[in-house]
Structure 1
């Protein structure tokens, strides 16, 4: 099976028909006004062809599989367990949707909340640089929950994912990086609006209802970077998955919002845009031409920690591979990153695993000592290892000025200088982290990550079955038959050791 003629040229996606809106002037005569930003995006989301290029479908399947693995592993995290425990108070009356790590089911919005929290709990889910969101951690839980409840096919999920990802990018480009630098958690703000569009697509809403879904999603968008390093960060991703799904369902059932809510004086751009938002430029960034997953790509993670550390970790691993030094050979390590990275990495001396994910010092110490980072490095016991804490003071950070990040075409180079006790000074730099479109993961690396997430929770056999099912998602006719068998587990409270 294909996603409705999978090989059709991606150029078909640019044929967007936007209707002008009718409005009354002061005399009562009808005038025609140009469509709002929201209407332009919604019209594309509702009407674009589902004849996706194989170059879009393949990375979408990889992203969905990667997120499912993060959901399975993340369901063992304390944040996910807490949300799941609360959600269990409202069991599904009808068929509902699967809660990963649980034998229970819940209405789709609550399942999306629980699974979205799990997907982001260990900060191992992908980054999406076009929107500055963890797009998949919001999109995949929402689409799987809604799709399971409505009997959608795997092809429907892929279609909704690709529409939602483009809408994440479209919304984000209007406000970022200014929005992100102001302190908003774009995963939970931009992500909520884009995910409303994805769920509207899955529900097959027309452009009118899709615009209302996104408008309502704008009212439900919330999340602060001030919560980084706590349970509230993944909670915000789960909240965005729930709210995006709810916004689409409310719009389906007749609830309406204002079409100009992105643009008006009290709208998203003015209130959430930060100090220097660029606004929307559809000439520079035409919707779906080519699809953003082909043009920019996603950034699946090899390291289970904040993406702000990744170029520095990769720089260090590159130097270790080239020069074959060990931790005892190093006198100091100095990283040069962006201001937002320094603000994200706010724990110089982390005391628990959540703080450790947002500590450059901890992550660099582990990479220096062992040559890689895994989920096993982010447990309460691992964070207190004396051999790691002794290495943490070796790392220092400097940053570019904040205004350097406001250039939308910026490459954001991260530099590393390592001084050895021998007197040698080693330097390197990266414009992209491992896993991004400029340095993509190999099939073996994707599988190794999937197993790292799933085998400690599900065992070898079930993990292998789940991996195969995810990669054959396009052949699934009804998620209601697939998801419960693949993801439900009564052993969901086990801790990944």
Structure 2
């Protein structure tokens, strides 16, 4: 009896730590996310499928003019000699190996800063996910429905990882498109490759070793390259995981994990001291209800009305609203006051932009363009446009007022003082293109047509539109990728 009692006691000593270990592992985000990617059925609501399809429409639209930007052409010229492959490089006459196609197309997708935003991750999600998915889909012979499935699943993990490190990660200068984007792309690619739970977790973990990118690159060619590098990392991480390369499990949450290294040594203090939470950003990784709610529906994507940094869009929407509702000319404007969250204004660091890239991150330029033209199009963000004296002369009349509150706590307030003494005011909580004011289907097609103008011949544009309209039913992505394979026309054609 004593012997049996001893066994029982010693057994309990072994079982308790084993249970604790299993419980810890079940809550480990890398393990949990790998399992979710591998085991979640492809049974998404139809509105989620439609939202994903519209995300592909938007990213393909902006990638067409993005493909002819200098950064994309330089990226293609760099990687093309490294080897051909099965995956389309948008706007170019050659196909590449999947990682290089993902890099080039990611740069094209983000080159004009006309691509969507995703609040839970504080990242440009589709510019990373779609290039990675399409590059692998061509290589693997995947269908349009496979791509939409991978997108929804990858976006969910991208959002969950973002919620685990934001808002501090982004506010401290990390470009989440590059960092969190790499992890989300790995999850999407793991889903497309149908990896098992172990290999999917390895892909997610491995991607943290490829994650990097600073906001100090904003206004340079390297900023759009961040999206391409993240897309490339997703393809590589999932492919290496499929081949059997393993990775650690403490790379998202742990003493030397993303949360403590890419938030800071005060991570736990910040997490435990949160008093206001936006976009689910709790500084905790959700592992119990990973798929609930489905973020593509509950948070949605912010489709861009203007081809510049989204932090300027609430102010520009407000300016255009006041311009439309009141009869005044730019010459009658005495001053424009913009009251906005400090995090938005920090993203708009170029108060006196010198070229088109810097203008994309300038509140002053965005507001001036909206006031002077009543719109803001691709042609307004060229180097030549930025040098126009009448636009630059307006900068001193635009005044920024940082507000130390989160974007959900404080809507952007626009105040226009006219020389006749009138003061016009409005406040914008959510920009056009968000869930609060979503694009109609007609607006999506209009954006495609505007982006393709002068680059795609009418018959090619029609084929592309048909492929995008029927994307969920395509047995392969070839009808889509064939329509955007280069070379394109020139803008003057």
TM superposition score normalised by structure 1: 0.90
- The residue correspondences of 1:325-344 to structure 2 (distance < 5 A) are 325-344=328-347
1:279 corresponds to which of 276, 283, 292: 283
Q: CA deviation at 1:164?
A: 0.7
> Secondary structure of 1:46's match?
helix
Matched, 1:297 2:289: no
Report deviation, 1:120.
0.1
Which one of the candidate residues 288, 293, 299 is aligned to 2:291? 288
Matched with 1:422 is: 420
Q: How much does 1:388 deviate?
A: 1.4
CA offsets 1:225-277 (integer angstroms, 9 cap, x no match): 00000001001110000001110011111111111211110001000124535
| Aligned with 1:318 (options 297, 318, 321) | 321
Match of 2:369 in 1: 366
Moved more, 273-282 or 449-458: 273-282
Partner of 1:203: 193
In the alignment, structure 1 residue 218 sits paired with structure 2 residue 208: yes
Q: What SS does the aligned partner of 2:336 have?
A: strand
1:15 is matched with none
TM-score normalised by length of structure 2: 0.90
Partner of 2:103: 113
Name the residue aligned to 2:121. 131
* 8 Å contact from structure 2 (residues 467, 480) kept in 1: no
Contact 1:76–1:495 (Cα < 8 Å) also in 2: no
1:19 aligns with none
Q: Unaligned stretches of 5+ in structure 1?
A: 1-24
CA distance in 1, matches of 2:15, 2:147: 47
Q: What is the Cα deviation at residue 484 of structure 1? A: 4.0
The 3-state SS of whatever aligns with 1:230 is coil
The Cα shift of 1:328 comes to 1.3
For 1:256 and 1:324, the matched residues in 2 are separated by 64
Question: Deviation at 1:411?
Answer: 4.0
Give the whole-Å Cα distance in 1 for the aligned partners of 2:51 and 2:22: 38
Q: What is the match of residue 472 of structure 1?
A: 470
| Match of residue 463 from structure 1 | 461
Residues 414-437 of structure 1: per-residue CA shift (max 9 Å, x gap): 111110111111111111000000
Shift of 1:281: 5.3
Bigger mean CA offset, 431-440 vs 392-401: 392-401
1:448 aligns with 2:452: no
How far residue 337 of structure 1 moved from its aligned partner, in angstroms, is 1.3
Q: Structure 1 residue 91: deviation in Å?
A: 2.5
What residue number does 1:485 align with?
Answer: 482
Report the 3-state secondary structure (helix = DSSP H, G, I; strand = E; otherwise coil) of the residue aligned with 1:416: strand
The question of whether the paired residues in 2 share the 8 Å contact of 1:192 and 1:217 is answered with: yes
- Counterpart Cα distance in 2 of 1:399 and 1:30: 52
